Structure 1
Amino acid sequence: MSIRTRVVVGVYPGQADGVVLQAAVFAARFHAELVCAWVDPGRHPRADHADAPAVGPVADPPTDSPTIGTPATPRVAQFSPYLAAHLERILGGHDIAWSTHQLTGDPARALGQLAESLRAAMIVVGTRDGTVRGSLQEFFAGSIAMNLAHRQNRPVVVIPLSPVSFDDDLPWESD
């Protein structure tokens, strides 16, 4: 199977499996490699150049014939072993090529820069979680999906994690 394009999906420990599984469906339909990118916002991008990509320890460069179901091995620091094992469990039965990338800094910027460097067909992210932590994070940092949607020249697909009925108020609509 020759990989012509890539689908980037933002992942993090504890994320709902539905986001990665739906991204895998897109990757399969487009005959694309699924690139699972975890952004560590606590670490900062390289300081030697202000416009340097927010890519921390990255996986080896993709090849034209990646191994199906085998995450890439990082060169500098390791992608979260817990998260890699979890991805292996949920993606192992799918006939798609996939890899992992460890990124740093602002999540929207890092995912966008990775997608740009890989010429990805799309970026897939989930909606924020409904916890207080998720609400505070969105309040201070803004919505990753919204930031990507306004700053990308490629499609951003947002997978709903906890859909709310149209009859119910959204958390930010109730006072």
Structure 2
Amino acid sequence: MNGNEIAGRGGILAAVVPGQPLAVLEQAARLADDLDLPLVCANVDPDRYVVSSYVDGTVVALPYDPDLPEAGEERFDPDLEAHIRNALDGRGIPYSLQQLAGDPAWALARLAEDLDARYIVVGSREAGLRGSVREFFNGSVAVHLAHRQHRPVIVVPLNPQPGAQRLPWEDPPV
């Protein structure tokens, strides 16, 4: 089932990325099952920008870096697809995969609008210095989504820390 087949049905949109813990997909699938709605798993390539998109869901994108390959149809990561299929097949939840390009928050909000998604499910930021640096420059996808569109955004904690423990991005005590 492609994303356009469920358009207008008010499904659940889950942001998925390679290497992401299974928690985001599991929670999105649980929500879709509880509400008897289809699930759309969307991956966004932030290193490319959309040149054109078609009614069948095909996206053509160019890299921001001129040294990368030219325009081409965006293809869903085969390893990520296998990971998703392994987690969802046999659960009885209709789902589809969508490959997007560009700013993750903008691309997800646009797809949510096209699908008339009921909820957007994303993971919390990565713990550690790499995740903190990326978020400092790019901002939080969840925060951008929460402020730029009208759908509820569900943030799944990926690495919860005990209450008294300082988070990696918090300022050290003075």
TM-score normalized by the length of structure 1 = 0.80
1-structure distance, mates of 2:81, 2:54:
15
- Pick one of 127, 130, 133 that aligns with 2:124: 127
Matched, 1:36 2:41: yes
- Quick one: which amino acid aligns to residue 88 of structure 1? R
Unpaired runs of 5+ in structure 1? 47-54, 62-75
CA contact (8 A) 2:122 2:154 kept: yes
Matched, 1:8 2:21: no
Structure 1 residue 134: deviation in Å?
A: 1.4
Structure 1 residue 59: deviation in Å?
A: 6.0
Unpaired runs of 5+ in structure 2? 1-7, 59-72
Matched, 1:98 2:98: no
2-structure distance, mates of 1:109, 1:170:
27
Name the SS for the 1:37 alignment partner.
strand
* Correspondences of 1:154-173 after superposition (within 5 Å): 154-173=151-170
- In structure 2, the residue matched to 1:66 is none
- In structure 2, the residue matched to 1:27 is 32
- Quick one: which amino acid aligns to residue 119 of structure 1? D
Name the SS for the 2:50 alignment partner.
coil
* Correspondences of 1:65-144 after superposition (within 5 Å): 76-144=73-141
Q: For residues 128 and 142 of structure 1, do their structure 2 counterparts lie closer, same or farther at Cα, with a shift above 3 Å needed?
A: same
Structure 1 residue 152: deviation in Å?
A: 1.5
Aligned-residue RMSD, C-alpha:
2.2
CA contact (8 A) 2:129 2:169 kept: no
Bigger shift: residues 160-169 or 34-43: 160-169
- Quick one: which amino acid aligns to residue 31 of structure 1? D
2-structure distance, mates of 1:58, 1:10:
21
- For residues 19-42 of structure 1, what are the alpha-carbon distances to aligned partners after superposition, in whole Å with 9 as ceiling and x for unaligned? 001000000111111000000000
Bigger shift: residues 27-36 or 129-138: 129-138
TM-score normalized by the length of structure 2 = 0.80
CA contact (8 A) 1:28 1:96 kept: yes
- Total equivalences in the alignment: 152
CA contact (8 A) 1:37 1:102 kept: yes
CA contact (8 A) 2:128 2:168 kept: no
Give identity over the alignment, percent: 47
Structure 1 residue 133: deviation in Å?
A: 2.1
Structure 1 residue 132: deviation in Å?
A: 2.5
The structure that is strand-richer by fraction is: 2
